[in-house]
Amino acid sequence: MYRKSSVAVALLLSSVMLAGQQAPPPVPSAPTGQPDPQMPPITFRSEVNYVEVDAVVKDAQGNFVRDLRQGDFQVLEDGVPQAVTAFSLIDIPVTLSERALFLPADIEPDVRSNATGPDGRLYVLLLDDINTGPMRTNRVRVAARQFIERNMGANDLAAVVQTSGRTDATQDFTNSRRLLTQAVDKFMGRKLRSAALNKLDSYNMTRGSGMGTSVADPEQAERLYKAESVLLTIGSLADWLAGIHGRRKAVVFFSEGIDYNIWDMMGSAGTSGIAPDSVRRGDGTILFSRAQDAIAAATRANVNIYAIDPRGLSTGAEDSIEMSGLPIDAESVGLGASALQDELRDQQQSLRTLAEETGGFASVSSNDFSNAFRRIVDENSSYYVLGYYPTNDRRDGRFRRIEVRLKRPGLAVVARKGYGAPKGKAAAEKKAETSAATSKELRDALNSPLQMSGLKLAFFAAPMKGPSRKAAIALVTEFLGREFAFTEKDGKYLNTLEMSYMALDKQGKVADGKRDAVALSFKPETYRRVLESGMRVQSRLELPPGSYQLRVAVRESGGRTGSVFYDLFVPDFAKDPLSISGIVVTSTAAGAVPTAGAIAELGDALKTPPTTSRVFSSADELAVLAEVYDNQGALSHSVDIAATLKAEGRVQVFSNSETRSSKELGGASGGYGYTNRIPLKGLAPGLYVLTIEARSTLGGTAKVSRDVQLRIVP
């Protein structure tokens, strides 16, 4: 399958295998489509007895004050001083993506790391498809895309959720604008027809019937159910975010507002001579209670809701176009244009209430969202976080008033006013199945909404054609040697790594997973190499075509745990006419890193194991591997495979190409392996882009390519 190019030579440095690297015998795989029996179920810890409050402190000129210490603050809950046990200053710059200037768009990194921790802003874009009119779908898409493309920094993370619970239109936390906008573009409003218009139709149909007139809304029950669902979603989302501490969590809520009068505590009693609505009295009480619960959950979790009404400057005129057959007495029975205005007012008021009670704000009746988005970024960039365990731990559901005071005079502090205490019996934390061998620490890391950086690691994944319809996913994890706490015994340095891999599909189900135990036993010379060069572990998963979030969590015997989340798209290598695997990169220097495990699909095509490093010395040499898959082998043709390395200004510093014949495939589907070596000697420091592309001579077959961004240092 592989053909060495004329400039390629074998790398002579071989990998150093770790002693005792074999994992315990694997548990037999589950049936196709079922999660690996070793993998724990995904659960979310929804509640902790801990309170965090953000504080924005400004001087008399309105400038943020950055030099305060924990002792400068005092926190009171219902007038009782609280012991602040956690304190931090969050001051986040807007970081731009590192991108070669000649590229029209960012190249998404093919390596993920937790080295810096989550150091940006956190956003959840909550798209309210339940309460958005179908004709205004595009307004939400445009507004949400504007926020992603113009207001997110490279260090920010965002997720996309829809209030209806659509799993095919969600996106877990990522900084990939491409994945976020893909989820946004699937949004489709599904709001019910206006209740005022429904009532007008009902009135016109029953007027003059001799049986009395009615202003009933036939969709009232469904409207109530959907309104309740949205509020429950907000509460559940806040509970999920409660496990993230030490930072603000912003929910940007794109919605036309709750499509029900939350403040109608007694229901509609009707108008004289008109039959009352066919709804239970006090339905508004249900929603008011749900709204209180949602707000309480958000304030407990330190979640700020920012409501964006996509209708912009609206008077309800769009719905009034449908208002036909308006009777003379329409206004007197509450069915005229004022009814639409009342609906609009109630919906916008629900947005203001949810936002203002959680420390955010609502942008309504505005066609320009730029200022609102800029304000959201500002409010989530610079602030202090104060954490404490409240002295009052009663679960009575009551509102607890928070007051933040400053001991330094002349400063103004803005903080949320309080939170809703939990109520009822505390929910028991779900346990993993007894057959799951994964430790609690790794289960927590896998279940966390965000990566954990207690143990630093970098992770790379490359999809390749597997032995069946599924793709083989090559996995490479690298560590800094000084991260580990080795134990010296009998002249050897010992440690054990517990590693767990999990692939979640778009529905949040585990598509594949595995657990490895890597026993480390180093002689002094190998131990010194690990301290200097680090170490890596290779593994693999098998996945069908689709989009996934890979989660790798690692725990060393010393107790530190780290995790990395990785967005992966797996092409359909068995179906697409022409496709390409992930690009595997290694170098001469990478051969010095001790390595455990193996990836069968790579064979001996590369003499040095893949590396997660994307920063290389100008004295080094790269070796690259890619596979091109051709499903048109029955037709005589050829495939041109080319590799280029470009510097800023589109300066091409390396190129290589070769032509492969379909005769190699024997008239069937198959692939062509491509490897090459790229010398870096003499290249100037800076950003470079490595591109491997393939073109078929068959007409109508699109070219395929992949890019990897590299940095070369002296």
CA distances (Å), origin 450, targets 118, 241, 244, 497 = 8, 10, 8, 21
Question: For residue 316, which amino acid is it?
Answer: G
Read off the pLDDT of residues 337-393 as tens digits, 9 standing for 90 and up.
778 888 899 999 999 999 999 989 999 988 889 999 999 999 999 999 999 999 998
Q: What is the pLDDT of residue 435?
A: 34
Question: For residue 208, which amino acid is it?
Answer: G
181-206 CB burial, b ≥16 within 10 A, e <16: bebbebbbbbbbebbbbbbbbbbbeb
State the average pLDDT over residues 392-420.
Answer: 91
- pLDDT exceeds 60 at position 457: yes
Cβ partners under 8 Å of residue 530, min gap 6: 481, 484, 522, 594
Report residue 93's pLDDT band, with 50, 70 and 90 as the boundaries.
Answer: confident
Q: What is the pLDDT of residue 15?
A: 27
Percent helix, strand and coil across the chain, each to the nearest 5: 20, 35, 45
Q: What is the pLDDT of residue 36?
A: 34
- Residues in the chain, overall count: 714
Q: How far is CA 671 from the centre of its chain?
A: 34
CA distance 711 to 618: 10
Q: Where are the alpha helices (DSSP H) in 249-321?
A: 283-300, 317-320
Read off the pLDDT of residues 5-25 as tens digits, 9 standing for 90 and up.
322 222 222 223 333 333 333
Domains and CATH numbers, the chain: 12-43+437-570 (2.60.40.10), 51-92+382-420 (no CATH), 130-379 (no CATH), 614-714 (2.60.40.3880)
Read off the pLDDT of residues 31-64 as tens digits, 9 standing for 90 and up.
333 333 333 333 333 445 788 999 999 999 989 9
Q: What is the pLDDT of residue 342?
A: 86
CA distance 126 to 170: 10
Read off the pLDDT of residues 497-529 as tens digits, 9 standing for 90 and up.
999 999 999 888 899 999 989 999 999 999 999
Task: Determine the 3-state secondary structure of 481 from DSSP.
Answer: helix
Question: For residue 137, which amino acid is it?
Answer: T
State the average pLDDT over residues 279-289.
Answer: 69
Read off the pLDDT of residues 539-569 as tens digits, 9 standing for 90 and up.
999 999 999 999 999 999 878 999 999 999 9
User: Quick check: pTM over 0.85?
Assistant: no
**What interhelical angle do 337-356 and 283-300 show, nearest 10?**
30
Q: What is the pLDDT of residue 13?
A: 22
Phi-psi region of 603 (alpha: psi -120 to 50; beta: other; left: phi over 0): left
- pLDDT exceeds 70 at position 661: yes
Q: How far is CA 444 from the centre of its chain?
A: 17
Q: What is the pLDDT of residue 1?
A: 58
Q: What is the pLDDT of residue 49?
A: 73
Q: Where are the alpha helices (DSSP H) in 185-326?
A: 195-206, 220-241, 283-300, 317-320
CA distance 534 to 238: 39
Q: Are 127 and 163 in contact (CB under 8 A)?
A: yes
